Amino acid sequence: MQTQLELEAISVRLYKYLCEEVVGSENIVRYRRLYYKLHDDLSYDNNFEYVSSGSKAEGLDFPTSDFDWMILWKIWQVYDDTPKEKEDVLFLDTENALPGFALLKKSDNSSFPCSPIKTDFGNLISNRDFLHFGISAMKIQSTKSLEINGPCISTSVLVDIDLMHCLKCNTWPTVAKQWLLRVRPSRWPSQDIVSKIVSDGCLLVPVGSKSTCKDGNPLEWRFSFSLGEKLLVHSFNHTQLLCYALLKIWLKEILDSDNILNKKLCSYFMKTALFWIIEEREDLNWRPKNLLHCFYLCIHRLHYWIVCGYFPNYFIPEHNMIDGKLSGDDLKHLSSFLEKNMRENLKLMFSVPSLGNFRNIPINIQRESYRLREFDMALLSLQTFGNLLLEALKECKADLSACIIYRMIHKHLPNSARKILILMFLKMNKNILATFHIVNSKNKRVYLRYKECLSRILINTFYDAEAGWLLLAAFFYSTQNYRTMSCILQLSSSMFSLEKRLVQNNINTKSFRDMSKLRKMVHSSSFIKRMRYENPRVFYEDFNSILTDNYPFLTEEIPKFGFYGLQPHSLFYFLKFLYGHKQGNSLEARSAVQLLNMSFEEDIDKSRNMLCLISSYMLLSTAFELLHDEEGHAICSLRFLKAIKMSKTLPVFMKHEQDEEFKMLLELV
């Protein structure tokens, strides 16, 4: 049992550890929120808009966190009462629904796409019909990867994404008006935040209560205050946010590790407990030294709710959020688990993977010279999501690049926002390259297309130095400009070896001049210069791939590789081989194949990730085919099959691989 001083000392150290190793500093959290907000702003449309929500939009970036994206339909207006001057509207009926839910009625002249169901309470809209309307509106060719979880449409490719189609209430619901008036001992949230929440309004999501039906009442719609909750979390000080992070860690890594209690509670309950504690406890001092004390108060509140069998919603306390979800046995198991957990609290908390190094890593040590800047650290960790967000936004805005440029020129934005917009523009430029086909003709129109394609590839080198220059070399090979290709490969060669040393953080670099240059790259005052080198530095084996099937202007000799892409270190050797092979220089071609083979063997021996292994194999086997080396191709394939047999990620690649010949090879495993 720790004394108060010991608990405060541990709390301060834990606060610093969470800032350094798990959650990030206040600045990093702020940059993450700005990143998602700018993407949300670009999606604004008269008919609908995308709104990011959940942990990631709140500033937390845990590896296990899903990305929640609300698709807010604004075509149809929802009111608490039927306005006299409006005919094409939907209106709520909360009297005939359980607390926290509403029935949605359709007026006779409404253009709402779902046919109403006639009931004793009027013409009601089914939440399931709207959910299926949302799936059809997404225009997804294959729905095999989609799964309906409550009100969400879930999909998992590179990351887990929950999409939720919802409607917005144009008036603050009567059932939640008590939240506006109740006494708040801590004076949180402030009146300004309350006014802003009311201004943003609440949402209706297509899911009903489970009190009378296991699958949920199909005619009820749940009130969602996601917009307001995001504002509340954004108003947290950093200690409060870290307490929220600890609650999520406790849920995912302690409670969910129990076979019986796994998935019985969700992170929304953790957030709700924290909201109530912050509002009600005026005596709490939310400072780093009190972090663990505040965390334990939230755990005690959860235990109290479990004993009572009642989890009050923060906005509508009459809504018991576990009604119909947890059985009496579930509540008993949870209660006994929490009682034991509260006795062994510190021991359990510091045994979880996220906090496993807490006692081993010294805090307040001087930052290493290769440490990323806070802004860069925040953005680089969001790159995969950024690509997915832009792909989705591209579907609703054809002129997305123009929108980005307009904001950079005409809006008064902070430098951090401008940098994010620049990064978004460079990503969009990379996406536009997918519309170009092979262009090698003297026709003036085609020549202009050639020049535009070349200019966009050059712009792409500002996004990623290594992969960008390799794509340029591949372009010149595809357009039979071999001399220029050779020059680009020479430039890439020096750049590639330089960056590889940076990735490995090799302090025994032979050339002091090279090491100085590396540091200048990392500490450059130019954001674009840093990003073009930090992309391959941070995501050397995982993120920095080239999706060659996205570039139709590339020749057929370069394998078309989508979903996971070709890794630059393999593609570099392959392009060297292609150049030597095309020029009839068998010595140079064979030398490049040897290097590619060494890279392939290294990927196998070091058990690198599947992306590198498949990338090396595809390029090496293609090289053997071009050389008509059947023996080399057979040995390479056998080595690949033996290596891939041990991989746990094989089903994922089988699911998304489009190349039938390669898919057949995988099926042999």
Cβ neighbors of 192 (< 8 A, separation 6 or more) are none
pLDDT of residue 333: 94
Q: What is the mean pLDDT of residues 327-352?
A: 86
Q: Distance between CA atoms of 618 and 557, rounded to whole angstroms? A: 12
Q: What is the pLDDT of residues 103-157, one digit of tens each?
A: 999 877 778 888 889 888 888 999 999 988 887 876 554 445 567 777 777 766 5
C-alpha–C-alpha distance, residues 477 and 579, integer Å: 8
Residues 139 and 365: beta-carbon distance below 8 Å: no
Alpha-carbon distance of 65 to 270, in angstroms, equals 14
Read off the amino acid at residue 49.
E
What pLDDT band is residue 184 in, cutting at 50, 70 and 90? very high
Torsions phi, psi for 514 (to 5 deg): -65, -45
| Domains (range + CATH), the chain | 43-235 (3.30.460)
Strand, coil or helix: what is 371?
coil
pLDDT digits (tens, 9 = 90+) for 165-177: 999 998 899 999 9
Is the confidence at residue 70, as pLDDT, over 80? yes
pLDDT at 106: 85
How far is it, in rounded angstroms, from Cα 149 to Cα 325? 14
What does each C-alpha distance from 589 to 114, 481, 569, 631 come to in angstroms? 63, 18, 16, 17
pLDDT band (50, 70, 90) for residue 652: low
- Higher per-residue pLDDT: 467 or 278: 278
Cα angle 238, 355, 269; round to 5: 60
> Mean per-residue pLDDT for 202-212?
90
Which amino acid, one-letter code, is at 289? K
Secondary structure tally for the chain: helices H, strands E: 27, 11
Q: Answer for the pair 266, 66: CB distance below 8 angstroms, yes or no.
A: no
List the beta bridge partners of residue 154: 147, 162
**Is residue 515 very low, low, confident or very high in pLDDT (cuts 50, 70, 90)?**
very low
- Residues facing residue 152 across a β-bridge: 149
The closest alpha carbon to 161, from 476, 387, 312, belongs to 387
Distances (CA, A) of 462 to 175, 315, 429, 628: 53, 47, 11, 38
What average pLDDT does this structure show over 61-72? 83
Q: So what's the pLDDT on residue 68?
A: 86
Length of the chain: 669
Q: What is the pLDDT of residues 277-321, one digit of tens each?
A: 999 999 999 999 999 999 999 999 999 999 999 999 999 999 999
Q: From its phi and psi, is residue 242 left (phi > 0), alpha (psi between -120 and 50) or beta?
A: alpha
Determine which of 95-99, 160-164, 254-258 has the lowest per-residue pLDDT on average.
160-164
For 261, phi then psi, to 5°, come to -95, 0
215: left (phi over 0), alpha (psi -120 to 50) or beta: alpha
Confidence label for 524 from pLDDT (cuts 50, 70 and 90): low
User: By the 8 A CB rule, do 477 and 583 touch?
Assistant: no
- Find the range with the poorest average confidence among 383-387, 389-393, 543-547, 661-665: 543-547
* pLDDT exceeds cutoff 90 at 192: yes
Residue type, 91: F
- List the end-to-end C-alpha distance of the chain, in Å, as a whole number: 54
534: left (phi over 0), alpha (psi -120 to 50) or beta: alpha
d(CA 285, CA 4): 14
Q: Which of 93-97, 364-368, 508-512 has the lowest mean pLDDT?
A: 508-512
The residue that leads in pLDDT, 571 or 143, is: 571
Q: Which two tokens stand for residue 47?
A: 């008919």
Whether the model clears a pTM of 0.85, i.e. scores above it, the answer is no
Phi and psi dihedrals of 192, rounded to 5? Answer: -65, -40
Lookup result for tokens 């579907």: 395
- Asked whether the predicted pLDDT for residue 602 surpasses 60, the reply is yes
The Cα angle at residue 81 between residues 77 and 84, in degrees rounded to 5: 80
pLDDT at res. 510: 36
User: What pLDDT score does 663 carry?
Assistant: 59
Q: Tokens representing 621?
A: 């086997």
pLDDT computed for residue 464 by the predictor:
76
pLDDT at 542: 37
Q: What does pLDDT average to over the chain?
A: 82
pLDDT for residue 276 = 98
Q: Are 75 and 48 in contact (CB under 8 A)?
A: yes
Percent of the chain scoring above 90 in pLDDT = 43
Q: 196 vs 153, 180, 228, 317, CA distance in Å?
A: 29, 12, 8, 21
> What is d(CA 245, CA 218) in angstroms, rounded to the nearest whole number?
34
Tell me phi and psi for residue 119, to 5 degrees.
Answer: -135, 180
Which letter does DSSP use for residue 283 in this model? Answer: T
Reported as a pLDDT band with limits 50, 70 and 90, residue 522 is: low
pLDDT (0 to 100) of residue 322: 94
Q: How many whole angstroms separate alpha carbon 565 and alpha carbon 269?
A: 39
Distances (CA, A) of 568 to 122, 359, 377, 536: 62, 38, 22, 9
Please give the pLDDT value at position 508.
36
Name the band, by pLDDT with cuts 50, 70 and 90, for residue 440: low
State residue 312's pLDDT score: 98
Is the confidence at residue 606, as pLDDT, over 90? Answer: no
pLDDT at 501: 42
CB 250 within 8 A of CB 152: no
pLDDT at 259: 87
Q: Which pLDDT does position 255 carry in this prediction?
A: 93
Q: Cα(345)–Cα(335) distance, rounded to whole angstroms?
A: 15
